[in-house]
Each structure stands twice: as C-alpha cells, then as structure tokens.
C-alpha cells in the first residue's frame, strides 16, 4: 500500500454511502458499480494487481450483460411484463431518452423474431451490426447520466471512486461538478473511430481497483441485494424470487456444453479422474459465489461426488495447474466448442479473475482437494501457476 491509497474498508464505506444516496432513481447506479467491480477483478495482471483505468466501452458491455436477463418477461401468466427499473418520476425522462432496459429489450425482441430459440448473450454478440449499435446507445446513456452523477452526495460531486477523463480534458484537470456531458456528436465520432476529442477513460482513484478486486465477493452480493430490493419497490412486488430471476438465471443453463466438455476430458471427472457415468455435472471452476461466470474456460465436467464436495470452495493448486494447462493446450478445442454452441469463451477474463482471487488469498488458506480434504494455499506456487 503506497501513500494516498484508500484502504479497502474506506472504499467499502464509500460504496455503501453512495448506494444509500437516494437522489438517483434508477438502478443504473447499482449496475455501474457492479460493472466496475467485475472489470477490476477481470483485468488483474500477472502480479495480482488490477488495472486502474477502465473505459466507458467496457462499462457499457458489462452493463448490457448485467441487464440482459432482466429483459425477459417476468411472470408466466397473461400478466407477464418487463420489470421497471426506474422510479415513476424519472421514468418519463428515462423512457423519452430510451432507458437502457428499454433499449436492450427492443434489441432482444428483434433477435427473438429471427431466432426464437433461447436467446443467449453470446447469440446477441453475433447479431452485428445491431449489437454494436446497442452498445453505442448504452455507452452514450452511461456517459450522459450515471457516470457523471453516480458520485453525488447531496449537491456535491465527490470523486470518491473515479475521475472521468473527458471532464479533465475539458477542465484542464480541475474537477467540476456541473460540467455538461460531452456532445452526442463527439461521442458518436469516437464510436465510429473517427477523429474526436472524446476521451473514454475512467481513472479509478488510488487504492480503489485493489479494494474492488479484494472485496468483490463481499460487495457484489450486497449491491445485488440492494438492486433487487429497488426492483421490488419500483414494481410493487412482494416476491423474493425477483433476486433469482434477475441474477441467477444463467447459472443452470450449461447443458449445451456438457457433452463436449466430457469429450474434452476423455470421459473422466476433471477433479478425481474417475470415469464419468450418466450423472455428469458442469462445475464452475472459479465458484459461482465468487464470480458468476459461464465463460467456457470456467466450466469443467465433474461427477456428482466431486461437484457436491467442492461446493463454493476454491480448488487446490494441482487442480489450478491442470485448469491453467487446459486453457493452453485445449484452447483450440474450447474455441471450437464455443463457436459450435455459440458460447462465450472468456479466456482472458477468467485468467484475470483467477489471479485476482488466488493471488490475494491470505497465507495458508484451505483449498479444496477432494471429498473433505483441503490443503493450505502456498502464495509462491500460486503465483507461479498463474504467471503464464
């Protein structure tokens, strides 16, 4: 920790305080915060340190992915509807400008008309140029609204978590609370790749990226609960299921890649190498509870015994080494499976996540080996395993 870096507890306190600030009346605040948390975790470098500059484009991609399951129909009967994610006062403004949820929903409907089968996010990525246009739109909305406003408390704009580069450029480095956002034309030019003075970078304040990566598995569920509670209020629901609907849906849906994973592993369990029977489970190598990610590089086939014993534990060094080795030697096979099944590979992302989690473990943390057996973590060997 160098001088001037915020401590993780202080960063956590700021996040909690910003969430409590009632001024913002849509769920964009939660979406942007979760996007920043995830991006910090995923961009962890070889030495375990996260990158502290992100871009508005990266945030836009994350925000679309987060809202994607929210744009399904809630409720099965005739009363099924799209859940509202902004308070009634703000809704008119949001809808006039085409709120993010409405934009994603419109895109999804167009996609479903062409391919009525399950509409996954990977399928959405392939739908060009419409997906790119959606990202352009969402990025613009984020630039115009939540990114400059998220750190407001009362009438003060506190740059607690990040500085926005385009403001610095306009202000010669001085922070200005009420500086107007850049013009749509400036941003559109940048999005086309044309000359533009728009700077898409978001600079995290010293210590924030590290805190986000370290506190990811504490802060993320907290923000999601806050988000779900807001959706319940805005939609006058009584239903606790809304949390599962919004945030858990993607987890189960790994059947499509089960058979190819079994073939890749020559019919053997990833962890114990026993021959797999009919009861094959697709396990998230980095546990879902730590980082919910269905990227193919995070999925392994396991027998019921190992899958239920591993639960949400982190796997031990030998498993981690085999997992890393697989990412390299089976890269082409995994890419082919991803292409065939229209699945996301997530290779770089999962490596970043593994580094963020394993390289910040306290010494001698018990890691899962098999059954009820654990072995203590060894920082030097973990570093070596994740260096390549």
| Residues contributing to the site for Zn ion (CB under 5 A) | 269, 271-272, 303, 306
| In the complex, least distance from residue 305 CB atom to Zn ion, rounded to whole angstroms | 6
d(CA 231, CA 20): 15
Between 160 and 271, name the residue whose CB sits nearer to Zn ion.
Answer: 271
The angle that helices 8-20 and 28-42 make with each other, rounded to 10 degrees, is: 160
Between 52 and 303, name the residue whose CB sits nearer to Zn ion.
Answer: 303
| In the complex, least distance from residue 206 CB atom to Zn ion, rounded to whole angstroms | 44
| In the complex, least distance from residue 288 CB atom to Zn ion, rounded to whole angstroms | 18
Between 214 and 284, name the residue whose CB sits nearer to Zn ion.
Answer: 284
Q: Which of 244, 387, 260 is nearest to 330 (CA)?
A: 260
d(CA 40, CA 380): 23
| In the complex, least distance from residue 4 CB atom to Zn ion, rounded to whole angstroms | 48
Evaluate whether 294 touches 344 at the Cβ level (below 8 Å): yes
Between 39 and 306, name the residue whose CB sits nearer to Zn ion.
Answer: 306
Q: How many CB atoms lie within 10 A of CB 42?
A: 25
Evaluate whether 251 touches 292 at the Cβ level (below 8 Å): yes
Between 62 and 319, name the residue whose CB sits nearer to Zn ion.
Answer: 319
| In the complex, least distance from residue 233 CB atom to Zn ion, rounded to whole angstroms | 44
| In the complex, least distance from residue 323 CB atom to Zn ion, rounded to whole angstroms | 14
Going by C-beta distance under 8 Å and a sequence separation of 6 or more, which residues neighbour residue 257?
Answer: 282, 296, 299, 337, 341, 343
Evaluate whether 344 touches 296 at the Cβ level (below 8 Å): yes
d(CA 272, CA 184): 55
| In the complex, least distance from residue 201 CB atom to Zn ion, rounded to whole angstroms | 45
Between 35 and 282, name the residue whose CB sits nearer to Zn ion.
Answer: 282
SS3 state of residue 203 = strand
The number of CA neighbours under 13 Å toward the Cβ of 141 is 27
Our CA angle for 107, 108, 112, nearest 5°, is 125
364: left (phi over 0), alpha (psi -120 to 50) or beta: left
Paired tokens of 300 = 């392994």
Between 33 and 286, name the residue whose CB sits nearer to Zn ion.
Answer: 286
**Distance of CA 363 to CAs 27, 269, 357, 375, Å?**
38, 29, 13, 11
Q: What is the DSSP string of 174-192?
A: ---TTPPPPPHHHHHHHHH
Between 310 and 355, name the residue whose CB sits nearer to Zn ion.
Answer: 310
Between 140 and 368, name the residue whose CB sits nearer to Zn ion.
Answer: 368
| In the complex, least distance from residue 2 CB atom to Zn ion, rounded to whole angstroms | 44
Q: Which phi and psi (to 5°) does residue 241 adopt?
A: -65, -15
| In the complex, least distance from residue 315 CB atom to Zn ion, rounded to whole angstroms | 12
Q: How far apart are the first and last CA of the chain?
A: 25
Paired tokens of 121 = 């996010």
| In the complex, least distance from residue 140 CB atom to Zn ion, rounded to whole angstroms | 48
Between 218 and 304, name the residue whose CB sits nearer to Zn ion.
Answer: 304
């Amino acid at each position: 920790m160098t001088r001037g870096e915020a401590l993780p507890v202080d960063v956590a306190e700021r996040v909690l305080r910003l969430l409590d600030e009632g001024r913002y009346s849509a769920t964009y605040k939660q979406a942007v915060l979760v996007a920043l948390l995830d991006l910090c975790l995923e961009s962890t470098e070889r030495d375990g340190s996260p990158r502290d500059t992100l871009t508005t484009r990266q945030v836009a991609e994350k925000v679309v992915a987060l809202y994607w399951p929210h744009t399904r129909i809630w409720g099965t009967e005739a009363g099924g509807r799209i859940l509202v994610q902004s308070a009634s006062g703000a809704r008119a403004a949001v809808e006039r400008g085409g709120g993010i949820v409405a934009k994603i929903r419109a895109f999804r409907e167009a996609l479903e008309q062409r391919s009525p089968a399950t509409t996954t996010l990977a399928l959405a990525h392939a739908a060009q140029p419409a997906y790119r246009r959606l990202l352009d739109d969402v990025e613009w909305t984020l630039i115009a609204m939540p990114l400059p406003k998220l750190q407001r408390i009362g009438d003060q704009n506190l740059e607690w978590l990040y500085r926005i580069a385009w403001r610095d450029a306009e202000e010669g480095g001085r922070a200005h609370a009420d500086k107007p956002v850049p013009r749509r034309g400036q941003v559109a030019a940048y999005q086309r790749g044309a000359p533009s003075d728009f700077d898409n970078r978001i600079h995290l304040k010293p210590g924030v990226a590290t805190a986000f990566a370290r506190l990811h598995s504490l802060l993320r569920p907290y923000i999601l609960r806050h988000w779900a509670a807001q959706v319940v209020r805005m939609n006058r629901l009584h239903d606790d299921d809304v949390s599962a609907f919004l945030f858990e849906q993607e987890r189960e849906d790994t059947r499509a890649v089960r058979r190819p994973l079994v073939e890749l592993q020559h019919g053997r369990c990833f962890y114990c190498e026993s021959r797999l029977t009919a009861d094959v489970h697709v396990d998230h190598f980095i546990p879902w509870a730590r980082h919910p990610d269905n990227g193919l590089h995070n999925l392994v086939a396991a027998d019921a015994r190992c899958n239920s014993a591993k639960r949400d534990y982190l796997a031990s060094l030998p498993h981690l080494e085999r997992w890393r080795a697989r990412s390299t030697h089976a890269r082409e096979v995994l890419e082919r499976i991803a292409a065939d099944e229209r699945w996301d590979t997530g290779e770089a992302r999962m490596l970043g996540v593994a580094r963020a989690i394993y390289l910040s473990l306290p010494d001698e943390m018990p890691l899962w080996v098999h059954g009820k057996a654990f072995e203590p973590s060894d920082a030097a060997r973990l570093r070596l395993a994740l260096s390549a």
